[in-house]
Amino acid sequence: MLKFVLQRVLSMILVILIVASATFFMMRLLPSGPFSREKKLPAQIIKNLEARYHLDDPLWKQYVDYMGNLLRGNLGPSFKYTDRTVNNIINDGFPVSAMLGVVAVILAVGIGIPLGIWGALKQNGWQDNLVMFIALLGVSVPNFIMAVLLMFIFALGLHLVPAAGWGSVRQIILPAFTLAGYPIAFIARLVRSSMLEVLRQEYITTARAKGLSERLVIFRHALRNILIPVVTVLGPLIAAVFTGSFVVEKIFAIPGLGQYYVTSINDRDYTTILGVTIFYSVLLVFMNFLVDLTYAWLDPRIRYVERKLS
């Protein structure tokens, strides 16, 4: 197990370095620079700005300097917010995005799993058809459309919650449900299909033959096995919820990391784009790592085969 963990950590580091390198060079391939404006700045000012941020150095030196700072945890200064670093921006924006993402994930798991179980237990009934309709709606409607619909119905129409902003519990409801829409649908469909397959297994038939109640059969014997495919997708799904908040945060005027990211793209803020991309890459690979470790707890039959380190 220790060898497996070590191998995964080394592969995670390699993936992050590849993502950082690819993003760095792609930023430099853009036709316009970070100081390009509709109203062109004087050449001397651009030259001074490039000298200040060492953009006039050879590309290989810029790369080596950036990777050296990255290994020390320094993501560099922001080109747009001259008094702030990318680390400051992440420290300020990510807690907001994390809170929104955590609520969305709780909604996705708390609603998606019961919906999937309910649909499987009522297979081909109206309950199952309702679950499949909700799932189809959730996977078909983009989150920016969902955001507008929820805002129009519950904020502008019924006046139950604020349309936008951040700071109160009521303001988190609409963006959280917007983000949770697709995960709820995806988890519900996955749990439904897994539950139908598990219910046909011999050990379930045996448990029922022993006279165990249906509730005990479902929650003690079936639930743990149907959670394995859910855990498989939960890591990438959590990362997708966080990265998917970019547009949602912009629509609902939430001061999270996603809004900074969208703004940095429009402003060609290279260091912020690069820093946030690396940060979310770390989040994604770490969540996948946690998923792999969770397998062994959910299913004792799963064992990791140790391979020799090359």
Whether residue 8 contacts residue 274, with contact meaning beta carbons closer than 8 Å, is answered with no
75 contacts 86 by C-beta, under 8 angstroms:
yes
| Under 8 Å between Cβ of 301 and 115 | no
* Position 307 pLDDT exceeds 60: no
Residue 269 contacts residue 36 (beta carbons within 8 Å): no
Could you report the per-residue pLDDT of 89-127, keeping only the tens digit for each? 888 888 888 888 889 989 988 998 899 888 888 888 888
Q: What is the pLDDT of residue 310?
A: 43
Q: What is the tens place of the pLDDT at every residue in 151-174?
A: 888 888 888 888 888 878 888 899
Question: What is the distance between the alpha carbons of residues 98 and 2, in angstroms, rounded to a whole number?
Answer: 30
The residues, ordered by sequence, that sit 6+ positions from 157 with a Cβ below 8 Å of its Cβ are none
- The whole-number pLDDT of residue 299 equals 57
pLDDT value of residue 38: 59
Query: Helix (H, G, I), strand (E, B), or coil: what is residue 203?
Result: helix
Percent of the chain whose pLDDT exceeds 70: 88
- Residue 308 has a pLDDT of 42
What is the percentage of the chain residues whose pLDDT exceeds 90?
A: 2
Q: CA–CA separation, 81 vs 90, rounded Å?
A: 13
Mean pLDDT of the chain: 80
193-247 pLDDT, tens digit each: 888 888 777 777 777 777 777 777 777 777 777 777 777 777 777 777 766 677 8
Dihedral angle computed from the Cα positions of residues 49, 37, 268 and 163, in that order, rounded to the nearest 10 degrees = 130
pLDDT of residue 304: 47
From 281, 288, 104, 285, select the one nearest 182 (Cα to Cα): 104
Evaluate whether 304 touches 4 at the Cβ level (below 8 Å). yes
pLDDT digits (tens, 9 = 90+) for 226-236: 777 777 777 77
Question: Please, which pLDDT band fits residue 302 given cuts at 50, 70 and 90?
Answer: low
Burial of 115 (0-12, 13-18, 19+ CB in 10 A): buried
Model-level pTM?
A: 0.76
**Residue 68: both structure tokens together:** 């050296």
**In this structure, what token pair is assigned to residue 205?**
């038939």
Ranges 81-85, 139-143, 179-183, 227-231, most confident = 179-183
Please state, in angstroms and rounded to a whole number, the distance separating the CA atoms of residues 89 and 96. Answer: 11
Are 194 and 113 in contact by the 8 Å Cβ rule? The answer is no
At what angle are helices 223-243 and 170-199 packed, to 10 degrees? Answer: 140
Q: What distance in Å separates the CA atoms of residue 204 and residue 223, rounded to the nearest whole number?
A: 11
pLDDT score for 296: 58
Rounded to whole angstroms, the Cα distance separating 241 from 236 reads: 9
Two structure tokens written together for 39 = 């109203």
Write down the number of H helices and E strands in the chain: 13, 0
The stretches of 30-169 forming alpha helices (DSSP H) are 43-52, 59-71, 86-121, 126-140, 143-150
- pLDDT category, 31, cuts 50, 70, 90? low
- What pLDDT does 305 receive? 46
Q: How confident is the model at residue 306 (pLDDT cuts 50, 70, 90)?
A: very low
* Residue 191 near residue 230 (C-beta atoms within 8 A): yes
Instruction: Examine the pLDDT at 183 and tell me if it is beyond 80.
Output: yes
Structure confidence at residue 233 (pLDDT): 76
